Structure 1
Amino acid sequence: MSLTKSVYNLLFRRTSTFAITIMVGAVFFERLFDHGGDFVFEQMNRGKLWKHIKHNYEEKEE
């Protein structure tokens, strides 16, 4: 119970800290969601994306 009370007093008691907490949380969630979506997309399309097959089409320079 003391952990929740400490978090409440630190982050949610004042409106200004509550708003900042929500904004920072939204930024972190957006970054996590974006990277997670990219990871899932690349796993589902492994071997089909240009970065995976470009070595088949590039000419070697001598």
Structure 2
Amino acid sequence: MALGRQIYNLLFKRTSTFTLTIVVAAVVFERAFDQGGDALFEQLNRGKLWKHIKHNYEKEE
């Protein structure tokens, strides 16, 4: 209960800190979700993407 009260007083009591908390959380979530989605896409398509197979088609000089 004390931890909840400290978090409330620190982040949610004032409108300005509440707004800043929401914006920072949204940016962090968006970044993590984007990187997770990219990692999942790469894992599911391993061996099919150009960066994985381009050595088969490039000529060596």
> Which bracket does the TM-score occupy, shorter chain normalised?
over 0.9
| TM-score, reference length from structure 1 | 0.95
CA RMSD of aligned residues (A): 0.5
**How far did residue 2 of structure 1 move?**
1.1
Q: Please, which runs of 5 or more residues in structure 2 have no aligned partner?
A: none
**In 1: Cα distance, 2:54 partner to 2:19 partner:** 46
What's 1:9 paired with? 9
Percent identity over the alignment is: 70
Runs of 4+ residues deviating >6 angstroms: none
Alignment size in residue pairs: 61
> Deviation string for 1:8-54 (max 9, x for gaps)?
00000000000000000000000000000000100100000000000
Name the SS for the 1:55 alignment partner: helix
**Partners of 1:26 and 1:11 in 2: CA distance:** 15
